[in-house]
Copies of this chain bind each other. A is one copy, B any other.
Amino acid sequence: MTLDNILEEIKNAENILILTHESPDGDAIGSSLAMNLALKQIGKKPEVIIREFPRIFMFLPGSEEVKLEASKKNYDLIISLDCADLKRLVGREYVEISKKVINIDHHGSNVMYGDINFVNPVAPACCEILVGMLDYFDIPINVEIGSCILAGIITDTGGFKYSSVTAETFEFTAELLRKGVNVSDIYKKVLETRTKGNFELLRRSINRLELIEDGKIAFTYITKKDEEEVNAEPGDHEGIVENGRSIEGVKVSIFIRQKDEENAYKVSMRSNGNINVSDICYRFGGGGHPNAAGALIQGTIEEVKEKLIKEVKKVV
């Protein structure tokens, strides 16, 4: 079984490097930190590289151990978490020169770039995969590991909201509560703490939000200039796309955010019901989950908007 192979590789590896995707969210960070703490419990000394670490996750146990650079040239084993594609893996330069890669993920769009791939697209979060995996490995989920895992689950289920959430998700959370984990505190820190910058971006994006196609499409945007003016930090744009999705009648919510290059926009799309925005983003070179996907598109705001609306109109 794959899990046995994974455990064997971990046991045999002298040195292990844990990596995750760019613009890391709570699931990327939570799963990386949880894996690091878990491996330490069985006597390993793994390293974790995350180069852009949103301040709101600094409260998570073990975040002080995260580094910007690896200490070695190459590794016996790389464990990649929550990352569908090698192109998005931060620290991918180590992949070629290291011996083995284990790819643990829950994205249906995962391209299976690992030597061992453990991909479960039904799991609501990469962190939820770790619950079963650590159980199988007989590594107890203590309060610290549990807190990291919960942060990932809360992030990727929108706070127990998405339809991907399982009975196991709720049972696991009940168990953590009984162990003394402050679930409410983690929830608020992960999902409810708006930095001032996030609030100001929210204010601007809500002001600009347009309802298109008889209210079936919501569209809004944030520019580089906005982010500069409100002193935005990494991650301050997170959650903005959700506002459009929550409006009654909206089937697809689109949020675009200017990249460092003048004429490129990072697209975030969310859908309600059966509309697959991953398919739409795929056409623009992106991907994701059926109800939550993204892409990168060249053009001005108006050009990008037009390209996207044209495609989305076909499905709403």
The chain A residues found within 8 Å of chain B, CB to CB, are 159-171, 173-175, 177-178, 182-185, 187-188, 191-196, 199, 202-203, 206-207, 209, 211, 215, 245-249, 272
Contact = CB atoms under 8 A, between A and B. Distances in A.
Nearest to A239: B246
29 contacts: A159-B159, A159-B160, A160-B183, A161-B188, A161-B191, A162-B184, A163-B184, A165-B177, A167-B177, A168-B174, A170-B171, A170-B173, A170-B174, A171-B171, A174-B174, A192-B245, A192-B246, A193-B246, A194-B246, A194-B248, A195-B248, A196-B247, A196-B249, A199-B246, A199-B247, A203-B206, A203-B209, A206-B206, A207-B207
B196 A215 contact: yes
A249 B275 CA distance: 38
Copies in the complex: 2
Contacts of A248: 193-196
A187 B230 CA distance: 32
A185 B163 contact: yes
A88 B206 CA distance: 35
Contacts of A182: 163
Nearest to A211: B196
A167 B161 contact: no
Contacts of A160: 159-160, 173, 183, 187
Residue from A167, A170, A196 with most neighbouring chain B CB atoms (10 Å): A170
Nearest 5 CB-CB pairings of A with B: A170-B174, A163-B184, A167-B177, A167-B174, A170-B170
Contacts of A245: 192
Given A166-B177, A169-B174, A193-B248, 16 more contacts: A159-B160, A160-B187, A161-B187, A161-B188, A161-B191, A163-B184, A164-B184, A165-B183, A167-B178, A170-B170, A171-B174, A174-B174, A194-B248, A195-B248, A196-B249, A203-B209
Contacts of A164: 184
Contact of A161 (B163, B184, B209): B184
A28 to B, nearest CB: 21
Contacts of A183: 160, 165
A114 B247 CA distance: 40
Contact of A202 (B167, B178, B199, B206): B206
Contacts of A207: 203, 207
Contacts of A174: 167-171, 174
A161 B159 contact: yes
A123 to B, nearest CB: 15
Contacts of A211: 196
